[in-house]
Amino acid sequence: MRKSKIAGVGRYLPERVVTNDDLAKLMDTSDEWIRERTGIQERRFFELGKDTTSNMGTRAAKMALENAGLTPQDVDFIVFATLSPDYDFPGSGVLVQRELELPTIGAIDIRTQCTGFVYGLSVADQFIKTGMYDTILIIGSEIHSSGLDMTTRGRAVSVLFGDGAGAVVLQASDNDHGILSTHLHSEGEYAEELAVIDPGSSRAIPRTQARMIEEGTIFPVMNGNHVFKHASTRFPEVIQEALKLNNYQPSDIDLLIPHQANLRISQMVQRLLSLKEDQVFNNIQRYGNTTAASIPIAMSEAWEQGKIKEGDLICLAAFGSGFTWGSALIRW
C-alpha cells in the first residue's frame, strides 16, 4: 500500500502582535502571571477587513504549495480544520477552493478543535492510501481574538489564544517515507469542561439572545485543572501508542511537535518521555494557542529552521476540547 508524504509546509501569522502587557490593560492580569502559568509572551490578532479564517488558510496553503514545487491546480482535495469558521455555514474549505480558483474538487471541514489538524491529517492519509486522491491540502486556521471575553471574567481562557494559520501538502509516495500511522481518540464525558456553549441549536428560540452575551455563555469556558490533568496523561499515552505500533522508543524521535496548548504541558510530556530539549519543538511563547493551526505553524517553522530533515522521525500529538486527542508518526 502506498504511503502519504508531507511534500510542503506553510504558515500565515497576522501582523498585529499583542503582548501580555497589552492584555493587562484590558483585564486584571500581568506578564508575570501569564508567563508563569502558560509560557506565553505574546500572540497575533487578526486585522479586521484584511484577515479571515479562510484567506489566512489560503495564504498558508500557497506557501506550502510553493515549498512543494506545486501549483493550486495540482490539488485534488481540501481538508480544513477550524473551530472559528468565517460562517456558521458553509464551511471554510469551500472558501479556500474559491480563493485558489480551483475546479470543482471536494472540500471538507473538521471540527475537533485542538486536534483538528491531526484528525484532518489522518482523514487525508486514508484518502491517499486507498488511491482516491494523490495530492491533498490540509489546513488549520483560527481567528480566536474576536470570540474571547477580554475582561477579568474571562482572563483564564482569553490570555491563552492567538490567531494564525498553517498548512501542509500531503502527497502519495511509493517509498518508505511518509505517515507511518495515526491514532485518534475521544472522551465525550468531559465535553463541557472545555467548550463554547452558546449559541446552540437545541436550547433557545431564537438561537441568539442578549442573555447569552450578558451571562457570557457565548465565550469559551475551561476547567483548567481538569484539562491540564487529562492532557498530561493523554499526550504521552497517545505518543507511546504510535511508537509501540511502529516498534520505536521515545529516544528514537528526532522531533516531537505537540499541539501548542500550554508550555507547562509540553515540558511535562518532555519529562515523562525522558526527551531532550532539542527533541521537542515549542513556539507557543510567540503565538499562544492557535488550536487547529498550532501544529502546522510549528511544523513550518521547524522545517524552515532546519530542525526537520529528510529521514527524521517526527511525532505530532494533540489534546483538546471534546475531549479529543491524537498522534501521527512520520518518517520525513
**Residues carrying an active site annotation:** 114, 259, 289
Distance (Å, whole) CA 216 – CA 220? 9
Cell of 299: 511544523
Listed in sequence order, the residues at least 6 apart from 111 whose beta carbon sits closer than 8 Å to its beta carbon are: 81, 82, 83
In angstroms, the CA 168 to CA 67 distance is 10
DSSP string, 285-298: HHH-B-GGGHHHHH
Question: CA 139, CA 127: separation in Å to the nearest integer?
Answer: 16
CA–CA separation, 261 and 229 (whole Å): 13
| φ and ψ of 315, to 5 deg | -120, 130
CB hemisphere CA count around 7 (13 angstroms): 23
Residue 307 grid coordinates: 530542525
CA distance 102 to 85: 20
Q: Considering only CA atoms, which of 299, 289, 265, 320 is closest in space to residue 143?
A: 289
Q: Give 86's Cβ-side CA count (13 Å radius).
A: 19
Contact 289, 162 (CB under 8 A): yes
